[in-house]
Amino acid sequence: MPEPKRTPAGEAMTPLILDMLRLNSLILTSGDRLVAGLGLTSARWQVLGAIDAAERPQPVAWLARDIGGNRQNVQRIVNDLHRAGLLTFEPNPHHRRAQLVVMTEKGRKAFAAAMNLQAPWVNRLTEGLTVKEIELVRCVVAGLPDCLELGQEANNSNVS
């Protein structure tokens, strides 16, 4: 069987994906260093950010969906944040077992402190880049999750 050939766009996308994987690792490491003094990690900061961005309290499964994470991993992080006093749980009127996750005052202060550290960090990171360049990359990257999710559905239907 002949080896499948990449399209020109596929050829361009392959090194971009490798660069994004490396970038993801570097961003997580940098984020960990940035918020370590606050008792946070990048993962904890990300979960706090998802809670902050939500219009209303959400269960863990919804938070995981919002950040593109695994529900079990997000549950572990939420439990850690709860033990640290940064989160609390409230009853969910729509689901008895899926409690709603709510940030405490301590959690709001920790998140605000992290965001205060993030502003100068991200400003340094963007030196030499234009807003137009950043928006173009964001547009490309933002469209990839939908393509990947559609691809997974197609792959899953081929397996049956």
**CA dihedral (16, 46, 51, 74) positive or negative:** positive
On the question of pLDDT at 160 being above 60, the answer is no
Q: Would 140 be classed as within a structural domain?
A: no
Q: What is the distance of C-alpha 154 from the center of its chain?
A: 24
User: Is the confidence at residue 135, as pLDDT, over 60?
Assistant: yes
104 touches 67 (CB < 8 A): no
Do the Cβ atoms of 81 and 87 come closer than 8 Å? Answer: yes
- Residue 87: give its domain's CATH number: 1.10.10.10
Does 142 map to a domain? no
Mean pLDDT over residues 12-32, rounded? 95
Q: Tally the domains of the chain.
A: 1
153 pLDDT above the threshold of 70 = no
Going edge to edge, which strands form the sheet with 100-103?
Answer: 58-59, 100-103, 87-90
Digit-coded pLDDT (tens) for 31-85: 999 999 999 999 999 999 999 999 999 999 999 999 989 999 999 999 999 999 9
Domain-embedded: residue 20 = no
Examine residue 69 and state whether it is found in any structural domain, yes or no. Answer: yes
Average pLDDT in the 106-110 region?
98
Please indicate, yes or no, if residue 71 is contained in any of the structural domains.
yes
Q: Is 57 part of a structural domain of the chain?
A: yes
Domain that holds residue 88: 32-126
Per-residue model confidence (pLDDT) at position 19: 95
- Indicate the pTM of the whole model: 0.84
Instruction: Return the minimum-mean-pLDDT range out of 29-33, 110-114, 116-120, 138-142.
Output: 138-142
